[in-house]
Structure 1
């Protein structure tokens, strides 16, 4: 996947998450405390988007780190590690927003569990991307 296409996907996911989070934040007082298991609330959708973005950053960071150990550069290198770091950080930020705006605890349908997963996976992705960037700086 090219860098432009990856950037376009990241922008599309973020704009969709922001569009879904706006009405949920405006109408937070009218929502019931617990949602059905099958209901996809705005909090759950935001948490899913954050977790997927953080997961994409973690996978790309892991690939950039694995490919940076070889002598010949076969992977995306510094650019891929930078994109992975950006995806992981944006996923973490979106997860933090969902966690901060979730009313109720785990299991209420507000996306708090997914937001916590997005934060954890985002930290892992940021660490892997940071290691790949440090290694690319050292060898390049």
Structure 2
């Protein structure tokens, strides 16, 4: 006859430590979320650029730049590469999303200025 042994993991279980969301992952994850919000705001500003979307442009520019700066600083100071748990992938994603959000906001500003220059006045 074989016996079954059930073990209960104690407080020193090391497998749960690999999935904690510490400062090394929380900061670039937050920056990536801000970058995603910048992309959404930049897209809304671009689709509404002829009707005046200054608030969306301001949100996209601000959050995009914050995302790029925080992601770049975290990526430069990270101790390891991707997959080490130091947030390198989140930092790279934050930079990419921040640049995309900023580019969309700048495109919206250029489009709105072009519309004003050619006589298409945006309605307030």
TM range (shorter): 0.7 to 0.9
**Which has the larger share of helix?**
1
Question: In structure 2, what is the equivalent of residue 91 of structure 1?
Answer: 67
Question: In structure 1, what is the equivalent of residue 82 of structure 2?
Answer: 106
Question: In structure 2, what is the equivalent of residue 52 of structure 1?
Answer: 33
Question: In structure 1, what is the equivalent of residue 109 of structure 2?
Answer: 133
Paired residue secondary structure (1:107)? coil
* CA RMSD, Structure 1 to Structure 2 (Å): 1.7
Could you tell me how far 1:36 is from its partner in structure 2?
4.2
Deviation beyond 3 Å, 4+ runs, structure 1: none
Could you tell me how far 1:58 is from its partner in structure 2?
0.7
Paired residue secondary structure (1:104)? coil
Aligned residues: 101
TM-score by length of structure 1 reads 0.66
TM-score by length of structure 2 reads 0.74
* 1:117 matches 2:93: yes
- Could you tell me how far apart the structure 2 residues matched to 1:83 and 1:116 are? 21
- From 52, 55, 68, the equivalent of 1:79 is 55
- Bigger radius of gyration among the two: 2
